[in-house]
């Protein structure tokens, strides 16, 4: 953990530097990279790589680190991508209702941002068929509750699929 620099008021908030999953030396996101800004973008990109490689624990950890940076409703475009990432991991972990709720949140954020979620195929491939009622719940979930729902998703100690 390193202290955040340049934060007014001398914030004691800390952050974890993004790291590549073990054995990975380069990042290739294919033809549709996700564009999430700043530190959140770095964590999100590493999360996408881990998701593509099936390292669900690492993917979830990186998406949650990105969530720390986008837990402000003003960053709705970035948040849409982070919620999509956590939803995809939840689906791969068999947490269908949680995945559906978070995907509903991601879709609402996408609509609010007025810009499509990039790398959508990556997420949709992981999601499969989702219950409509949970999607609707996610679309109606207040932002702060959506952040808490994403933080509540957890992976077993070793989750590779």
Q: What is the pLDDT of residues 67-76, one digit of tens each?
A: 998 878 888 8
Q: How many CA atoms lie within 13 A of 67 on its CB side?
A: 26
Distance between CA atoms of residues 8 and 4, nearest Å: 10
161 residues of the chain, pLDDT tens digit each: 333 333 344 444 444 445 555 554 444 444 344 456 788 888 999 999 999 999 999 999 999 999 998 878 888 889 999 999 999 999 999 999 999 999 999 999 999 999 999 889 999 999 999 999 999 999 999 999 999 999 999 987 654 55
Domain boundaries, the chain: 35-152
Our measurement of the distance from residue 35's CA atom to the centroid of its chain's CA atoms, rounded to an integer in Å, reads 13
| 160 backbone dihedrals φ, ψ, rounded to 5° | -115, 125
Q: Where are the beta strands (DSSP E) in 4-140?
A: 14-15
Confidence at residue 22, expressed as pLDDT on a 0 to 100 scale: 56
Q: How many residues does the chain have?
A: 161
87 within 8 A of 16, measured Cβ to Cβ: no
Cα separation values, 17 from 66, 74, 160, Å: 10, 23, 22
Distance between CA atoms of residues 72 and 127, nearest Å: 25
């Amino acid at each position: 953990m390193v202290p955040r620099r340049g934060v007014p008021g001398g914030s004691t908030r800390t952050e974890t530097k993004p790291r590549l999953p073990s054995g990975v030396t380069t990042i290739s996101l294919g033809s549709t990279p996700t564009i999430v800004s700043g530190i959140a973008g770095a964590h999100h990109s590493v999360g996408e790589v881990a998701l593509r490689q099936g390292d669900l624990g690492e993917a979830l950890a990186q998406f949650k680190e990105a969530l720390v940076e986008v837990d402000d409703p003003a960053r709705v475009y970035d948040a849409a991508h982070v919620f999509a990432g956590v939803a995809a991991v939840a689906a791969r972990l068999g947490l269908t209702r949680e995945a559906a709720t978070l995907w509903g949140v991601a879709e609402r954020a996408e609509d609010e941002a007025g810009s499509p979620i990039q790398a959508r195929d990556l997420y949709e491939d992981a999601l499969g068929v989702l219950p409509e009622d949970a999607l609707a719940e996610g679309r109606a979930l207040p932002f702060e509750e959506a952040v808490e729902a994403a933080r509540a998703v957890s992976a077993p100690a070793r989750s590779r699929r």
